[in-house]
Amino acid sequence: MKIKDIVPTKIRSSLKRREEENPFLTLRQEMNRLFDNFFDDFSIRPFKTPWERTYPQVNIKENDKQIEISAELPGMDQKDVDISLYNNILTIQGEKRQEQEDKEGDYYHMECSYGSFHRDIPLPSEVDASKVKADFKKGVLKIFLPKKEEAERQAKKIEIS
């Protein structure tokens, strides 16, 4: 392992963080897991990773042409979720509603959570906002963001006069 990999020379944005790229993060996650297992019964959870409290949790994949963002949003449909793109930041917001009839029932076990959420995701590269597509099936939201053409990106270069 190179020393460069161990000593972080610059702060990476959370988006670019990858487990294998950051040995400290991996170590911390490992520690978290140990603590989580240990503190499970006490509901004390130290050293949370920044996104453990965020909802929805997302996976981001990309290839040369497009970025694919997926999130698990069970119990919601298209009406409950609002997606917008502004300044290369993708916003996902919405609300998971609890069924009214269930509230009157006799709950004795509850693990699913309900309420509103809002999440901003900075995109790793410029996208073509007019061609963004999204689909929502089986509680999994998938957003496809085509990257801008190479030519367009280069056109943004500014010459110093």
Partner 1 sequence: MTETQVQKKEKKDVDKVERTRSGRCFIPPTDIIDKEDRITVLADMPGVEQTSIDITLENNVLTIQGCVKEENPENYSLVHSEYQVGDYYRSFTLSDTIDQDKIKAKYENGILRLELPKAEKAKSRKIEIQS
- Interface residues with partner 1 (CB under 8 A) are 14-19, 36, 51-64, 67-68, 72-77, 96, 102, 105-117, 124, 138-140
CA distances from 19 to 10, 76, 120, 127 (A): 16, 30, 21, 25
Q: Which is nearer to partner 1, 43 or 130 (CB)?
A: 43
Residue 95 beta carbon to partner 1: minimum distance, rounded to whole angstroms: 8
Q: What distance lies between CA 123 and its chain's CA centroid? A: 10
* Closer of 104 and 159 to partner 1 (Cβ): 104
| Cα–Cα distance for residue pair 73/95, rounded to 1 Å | 10
Structural Rg of the chain based on CA atoms:
20
Closer CB to partner 1, 85 or 98, in the complex? 98
Between CA 81 and CA 92 the distance in angstroms is 7
Closest approach, Cβ 87 to partner 1, in A, equals 19
Burial of 22 from C-beta contacts in 10 A (0-12 / 13-18 / 19+): middle
Cβ proximity to partner 1: between 125 and 158 the closer is 125
For the CB of residue 140, give the shortest distance to partner 1 in the complex, in Å.
4
User: Taking the complex as a whole, how short is the minimal distance between the CB of residue 1 and partner 1, in angstroms?
Assistant: 22
